[in-house]
Amino acid sequence: MNHRFRWALAANAALMLASVLFFGGAPIIICIMPALHILLFVLNSRAAETWKQVFLLGLAHIVATFVTHMLSSQLYFFFICDDTVGRAISSGLCLIGVVWATVLFVVMLVRFWFFKKREALQNE
């Protein structure tokens, strides 16, 4: 297991810390999550050297995204306001985040497959 893989796995887990950057949860998370997703995608793509690592990092990104959104939503509900509209918005944002992380995972799979295929052609 290489060091980049370990750091990438830790960065995915650290995504959950983003939910506590703002006391109360959601507002700042909405602003920084797209940038964090892109950064994690780049880090995960460069750190993965095997198919197993690609799958682990992709799934870690999806799970961390879900947990981050749920944690920030619960903080918002507890400290700010717990209402039906807030719950609907948080559910929608969680869905968008998980779908976005899944799309990035698929792109990472295709990218890894392409580089492995190109590497195999160069070795022939």
| Alpha helices by DSSP H, 48-83 | 51-79
What six digits make up the tokens of 15?
């995504």
Q: 3-state DSSP call for residue 83?
A: coil
In this prediction, residue 30 carries a pLDDT of: 74
- Alpha-carbon radius of gyration of the chain: 17
**44 C-beta neighbours (distance < 10 Å), count:** 26
Could you tell me the pLDDT band of residue 23, with boundaries at 50, 70 and 90?
A: low
Q: What average pLDDT is seen over the chain?
A: 88
In this prediction, residue 62 carries a pLDDT of: 96
Could you tell me the pLDDT band of residue 27, with boundaries at 50, 70 and 90?
A: low
Cα separation, 31 vs 36, whole angstroms: 10
pTM, two decimal places: 0.89
The phi, psi pair for 84, rounded to 5°, reads: -65, -40
Determine the angle formed by the axes of helices 51-79 and 84-123, rounding to 10 degrees: 170
Cα separation, 59 vs 102, whole angstroms: 8
In this prediction, residue 22 carries a pLDDT of: 61
